[in-house]
Every structure is written in C-alpha cells, then in structure tokens.
Homo-oligomer: A and B are copies of this chain.
Amino acid sequence: MTTHKSITANEGDFVLLVDPRNKEHIFQLNTAGIFQTNHGTIKHADLIGNAWGSFVKTHLGKEFMMVEPSISDLIVSIKRTTTIMYPKDIGYILLKMNIGEGVNVVEAGSGSGALTSAFCWAVGSSGHVYSYEIRHDSQNLARKNINKLGYIDRVTFKEKDVSFGFDEENVDALFLDVPNPEDYLVQVRETLRPGGFFGNLVPTMNQVSSLLESLIAHGFALIDVCEIMLRFYKPVPSRLRPEDRMTAHTGFLTFARPLS
C-alpha cells in the first residue's frame, strides 16, 4: 500500500464503503470483482476511477459512501484466528519503541499479522520487520494478510521457536507478543542492541508480574507498565455523551530497555 496521491480509487486499492446503516465494509478493488451486500451489489469496475469521498449506488439503488481506509481501519478489519492488537495500543507502541522510518524490528509471534501490518507501515520502505511464529497456520494467515496490504517485501517471516534464539543482531526494537514473555529474555538480549526498545502486551496481571521479575533479573531498566482505555462518544452535537459500552481491556503494555 502506497500513499494515495490520486483523488480517485484505482485497481488494487483498498476501499472502505459505508452502507445506509453506517456499517463499514473494506475490500480490495479488482476489475472483475463484485461487492455483494443485502442492500444489493456493486461492480468493482463501477468504483474504479471514482473520486474518493463520493457516493455510489447498488443495483437496488441504495447509496454507499466510498473513502480510503486508514491503516487503523485496515488493522481492525484483518482476517484473524487469534486475538489481534488494536490501534489504541499500537499507536502508543510505535512512539514508545521509536518504530519509524528505516527501523529494523523483530516480533514474536506473528499472530494474524495485525501488529506486523502496523510495523510494516511504520518502518516504511527502508525498514524491515522480522516476524517469528511457531504455528504454521498463524504465520500463513499473517503472510496472506501482509501480502494483500502490499507489504510483503518489508517482512521476513520465520516459522521458528524463539526459545532457540532469534537470527538477527543489534536490532532497534523487539516486541514479544507471546503468553510467556518472561521465558525469552536471554534470547531478547542477544538480538536487541544495548539500550534498544523492548515491548510486550499480555492480558493478565499474573503475566505482567512474571515478566517484571524476569526483566529485573535480566538487567532491563526504564521499565514502564501501563494500560490504555479508549472511550468513544456519540457524535451528536446537542446530546454529546460517551457511548453506553466500551472495551474495558485489551492488555497491559510493558516497555523496557536492556542495559549493556
């Protein structure tokens, strides 16, 4: 996925269609494709060449709005067989771990590829992502998802058990998205350059406790543990109020830096 300078939707672009009931649909344009909903069908060919931000009608006359999806939209719409990481957490991870243009980052595991997608997007064409996963099916799905997004050249997938170590050296940043991060800190230290950025997300407090013990034992410093709560509001100007329900928890984030 390259930045859209074009003001029209082109073959291969991802599009976000909003239906008359405000439901969002994300898919990739291909000349022969047909988008089907219970509001009727739209031929991809009828979308290609249309201006972003314009309206299109189904064969039943129902009006859809077409915009370009953001990386945030793409992440949450990814096909998954695992719990994925969410934009509220990913955005903060990128800034805290300095994952920007040209960075080399290692992650384990690949999961469904949501975080991998964000890392590929953030490191740009001059950075690289090394993504480890022990489950064959998960990594296949992650690869498929990354390929669809056009990022396949930015990532090296490795179907390996990280308890045997990572292949890379002196990487800038390493994210452990595994249930037992405390078991891999020797391996992390061998791969992450001194002072580099370590990150983790786990759902339970017990896991955080175990990780903290291990981080201290393995000479990590600048340890931060936090959680991010995202609350949406009903966007009605005369009746502004939070939504009734929200996600109460995705996970606890831990950041640390290995000392030399």
- Contact A244 B237, beta carbon cutoff 8 Å: no
Give the number of residues in A that approach B within 8 Å (Cβ atoms).
Answer: 92
Contact pick for A260, options B54, B216, B234, B252, CB 8 Å:
B54
Q: Which chain B residues border A197 with CB–CB below 8 Å?
A: 70
CB distance A88 to B53 under 8 Å?
no
Asked whether any CB of chain B lies closer than 8 Å to the CB of A87, the reply is yes
- Would you call B225 and A228 a contact (CB within 8 A)? no
**Nearest CB of B to A158, in Å:** 21
Interface of A is mostly: mixed
A235 & B224 in contact (Cβ 8 Å cutoff): yes
Q: In the complex, what residues of B have CB within 8 A of residue A54's CB?
A: 194-195, 259-260
A100 within 8 A of B: yes
Residue of A2, A52, A127, A258 with most partner-chain B CB within 10 A:
A52
A residues whose Cβ falls under 8 Å from a Cβ of B: 2-5, 7, 18, 51-55, 65-68, 70-72, 75, 87-88, 90-98, 100-103, 118, 121-122, 124-125, 127, 170, 172, 193-197, 203-206, 208-210, 212-213, 216, 221-249, 252, 254, 257-260
